[in-house]
């Protein structure tokens, strides 16, 4: 295995289009489950006084869901945008904004790491 250098360009490549079309529904499902169901439920249990507890707990689960694909270190880093999306969803409880942001962020990360979003029998991420 010979690692490739990180690609820091933000140009939309033709190869991004199929990945984005496949990744968008996956982003929506993740956001629906984590923000729409889990965070909303935790917020109703904990109340406004413990808003950050609801966001942190739901994002711990969000990060744990990524450990299988990225490992513990990278899954921990996923907490950063997850916290941002959790707060965005609290401020404006609409899944459209967080789903679009999640998709764009995901495409950028896939491009930087030279990954492609390809659903397979065992894994949905593969090296290009």
pLDDT digits (tens, 9 = 90+) for 96-107: 999 999 988 887
- What are the domain boundaries of the chain? 16-127
Contact residues for 87 (Cβ-Cβ < 8 A; gap 6+)? 55
What is the helix (H) or strand (E) element at residue 98, kind and residue range?
A: helix 95-112
pTM of the model: 0.74
Listed residue (55, 46, 45, 64) closest to 93, CA to CA: 55
**Stretch 40-46: mean pLDDT:** 94
60-114 pLDDT, tens digit per residue, is: 998 888 777 667 887 888 889 999 999 999 999 999 999 999 988 887 777 666 6
Residue 62: helix, strand or coil by DSSP? Answer: helix
Q: Which residues pair with 13 in a beta bridge?
A: none
């Amino acid at each position: 295995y010979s690692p490739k250098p990180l690609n820091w360009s933000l140009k939309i490549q033709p190869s991004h289009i199929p990945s984005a079309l496949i990744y968008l529904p996956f982003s929506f499902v993740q956001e629906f489950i984590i923000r729409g169901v889990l965070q909303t439920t935790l917020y109703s249990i904990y109340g406004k006084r413990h808003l950050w507890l609801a966001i942190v707990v739901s994002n711990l689960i969000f990060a744990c869901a990524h450990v299988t694909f990225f490992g513990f270190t990278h899954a921990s880093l996923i907490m950063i945008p997850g916290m941002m999306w959790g707060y965005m969803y609290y401020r404006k409880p609409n899944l459209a904004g967080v789903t679009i942001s999640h998709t764009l962020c995901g495409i950028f990360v896939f491009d930087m790491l030279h990954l492609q979003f390809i659903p397979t029998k065992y894994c949905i991420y593969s090296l290009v």
